[in-house]
C-alpha cells in the first residue's frame, strides 16, 4: 500500500514535535515504603519530523507503548525512547508520563490515616543518543499571609498553594524526596483526613509560620539545592488566593543543567 506519510510535504518545513497525546496506560513506579506502586499514567509521545516528509506514522507510537514493559525506571524509559526513534526513523524522541502517586499520611495529633494523591510526571527527550530525564511532583500546601497577619486585629487570610517541582539528577531520587521538600516549604502541610484536634494543630501551626509565595519558593529551592543528587531544578509556587480574584506565583530555576 502507498506510504502517504513519506510523500513530499506541500510546505518544506521541519516540525519540532509531532505525535500522540492523551493515551492512558497502567504503570509501575518505585515506592520508598512498599517497593513498588501501581498507577495509571497519561502519556504523550512525539518525534521530530524532517522538512521533506509529509507526515509521521502515528500508529507506531502506540505500538512502541504496547511493547513497553510498563515498569517505570531510567533503563526502561531509555528503552522506550530508543524504540520510538528506531520505529519512526527520527533524530529525537520525547515522552511524558503524568500520573497520580499516593502516600498514606497520618494526621498530626489524632494519628488518623488517609491517602494523599500527588500529581507526578516524568519527561524524557532522547536527542543524538543523549537522554535528558526530568522528574517532577506537584505538592499542595497551606500558606498564611504575613502581611495580613501583621495588619489584622484578628486572624489573617490563608489559602492552599501548590509547589510544582521539576528536577534532573545523578543516580536515583525518590518521589517522596520531592514531595517532602515541597511540603516543608509551606506554612503547613495539608492532609486528606483531619479530626478536630488535627484541625486545631494545623491552623495554629500555619498561623505561627506565615509565608509569602516568595518565601515558599525560596524554601523549596533551598531544599532542592541541598539535595545531593539533584543538579538542576525548576520550582514554581502558585498561591490560590482566598481574598483575591487571582492567584499569586513565584518561580526559581537553577543555573546548572
Q: Please, what is the end-to-end C-alpha distance for the chain in angstroms?
A: 46
Residues 142-159 have pLDDT tens digits of: 999 999 989 998 888 999
Per-residue pLDDT at 104 exceeds 50: yes
| Average pLDDT estimate for 218-236 | 97
- Whether 238 and 247 have beta carbons less than 8 Å apart is answered as yes
Per-residue pLDDT at 117 exceeds 90: yes
Rounded Cα–Cα distance for residues 67 and 10 (Å): 34
> What pLDDT sits at residue 155?
82
Per-residue pLDDT at 2 exceeds 90: no
Residues paired with residue 189 on neighbouring β-strands, in sequence order: 141
Tell which CATH classification among 3.40.50.10540, 3.10.590.10, 3.10.270.10, 3.20.20.450 matches the domain 15-253: 3.10.270.10
> What pLDDT sits at residue 219?
98
Per-residue pLDDT at 46 exceeds 50: yes
> What pLDDT sits at residue 1?
52
Per-residue pLDDT at 7 exceeds 60: no
> What pLDDT sits at residue 4?
44
- Whether 6 and 54 have beta carbons less than 8 Å apart is answered as yes
> What pLDDT sits at residue 10?
64
Amino acid at each position: 500500500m502507498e506510504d502517504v506519510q513519506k510523500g513530499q510535504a506541500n510546505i518544506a518545513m521541519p516540525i519540532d514535535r509531532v505525535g500522540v497525546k492523551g493515551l492512558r496506560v497502567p504503570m509501575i513506579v518505585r515506592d520508598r515504603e512498599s517497593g513498588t506502586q501501581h498507577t495509571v499514567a497519561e502519556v504523550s509521545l512525539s518525534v521530530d519530523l524532517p522538512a521533506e516528509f509529509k507526515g509521521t506514522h502515528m500508529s507506531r507510537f502506540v505500538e512502541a507503548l504496547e511493547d513497553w514493559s510498563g515498569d517505570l525506571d531510567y533503563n526502561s524509559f531509555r528503552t522506550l525512547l530508543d524504540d520510538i526513534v528506531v520505529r519512526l526513523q527520527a533524530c529525537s524522541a520525547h515522552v511524558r508520563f503524568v500520573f497520580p502517586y499516593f502516600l498514606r499520611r497520618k494526621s498530626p495529633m489524632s494519628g488518623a490515616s488517609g491517602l494523599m494523591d500527588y500529581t507526578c510526571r516524568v519527561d524524557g527527550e532522547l536527542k543524538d543518543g543523549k537522554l535528558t530525564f526530568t522528574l517532577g511532583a506537584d505538592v499542595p500546601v497551606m500558606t498564611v499571609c504575613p502581611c495580613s497577619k501583621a495588619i489584622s486585629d484578628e486572624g489573617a487570610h490563608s489559602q492552599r498553594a501548590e509547589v510544582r517541582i521539576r528536577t534532573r539528577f545523578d543516580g536515583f531520587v525518590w518521589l517522596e524526596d520531592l514531595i517532602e521538600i515541597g511540603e516543608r516549604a509551606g506554612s503547613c502541610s495539608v492532609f486528606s483526613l483531619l479530626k478536630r484536634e488535627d484541625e486545631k494543630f494545623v491552623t495554629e501551626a500555619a498561623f505561627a509560620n506565615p509565608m509569602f509565595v516568595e518565601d515558599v519558593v525560596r524554601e523549596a529551592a533551598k531544599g532542592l539545592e541541598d539535595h545531593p543528587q539533584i543538579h538542576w531544578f525548576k520550582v514554581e509556587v502558585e498561591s490560590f488566593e482566598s481574598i483575591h480574584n487571582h492567584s499569586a506565583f513565584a518561580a526559581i530555576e537553577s543555573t546548572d543543567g
